[in-house]
Structure 1
Amino acid sequence: MSRIGKKPVPVPSGVTATINGQNVIVKGPKGELSFVVNDLVSVDMTDDGIRLDPRNQTKNARSLWGMSRTMVANLITGVTSGFEKQLAITGVGYRAQVQGKTLNLALGFSHDVKFDIPEGVEIKCPKPTEIVINGIDKQQIGQVAANIREYRPPEPYKGKGIRYADEFIVRKEGKKK
Structure 2
Amino acid sequence: MSREDEGDKRVAGIDAAIRVVPDFPKPGIKFRDVTTLLSNYKAFKDTIDLFVERYSDKKIDVVAAIEARGFIFGAPIALALGAKFVPLRKPGKLPGETISEAYTLEYGKDCMEMHVGAVTAGERALVIDDLIATGERAEAEVVECACVIGLVDQKGQEKLGGTPLFVLVECEGD
> TM-score surpassing 0.5?
no
More helix by share: 2
TM-score range, shorter chain: under 0.3
Q: Give the greater-gyration-radius structure (CA).
A: 1
